[in-house]
A and B are shown apart, each in its own frame.
Chain A
Amino acid sequence: NAGVMQNPRHLVRRRGQEARLRCSPMKGHSHVYWYRQLPEEGLKFMVYLQKENIIDESGMPKERFSAEFPKEGPSILRIQQVVRGDSAAYFCASSPTSGGTPPETQYFGPGTRLLVL
Chain B
Amino acid sequence: QQQVKQSPQSLIVQKGGISIINCAYENTAFDYFPWYQQFPGKGPALLIAIRPDVSEKKEGRFTISFNKSAKQFSLHIMDSQPGDSATYFCAASMNTGFQKLVFGTGTRLLVSP
**A residues whose Cβ falls under 8 Å from a Cβ of B:** 4, 6, 31, 33, 35, 40-45, 48, 55-56, 58-59, 91, 93, 95, 98-99, 101-111
Contact = CB atoms under 8 A, between A and B. Distances in A.
A110 B49 CA distance: 21
A111 B41 CA distance: 8
The size bracket of the interface on B is 20 to 34
Given A42-B106, A98-B98, A107-B46, 9 more contacts: A42-B4, A42-B6, A42-B89, A42-B103, A45-B101, A99-B96, A102-B49, A102-B51, A103-B93
A48 B97 CA distance: 11
B27 to A, nearest CB: 14
A4 B51 contact: no
Contacts of A44: 103
Contacts of A58: 100
Given A41-B105, A43-B103, A108 B98 contact: no
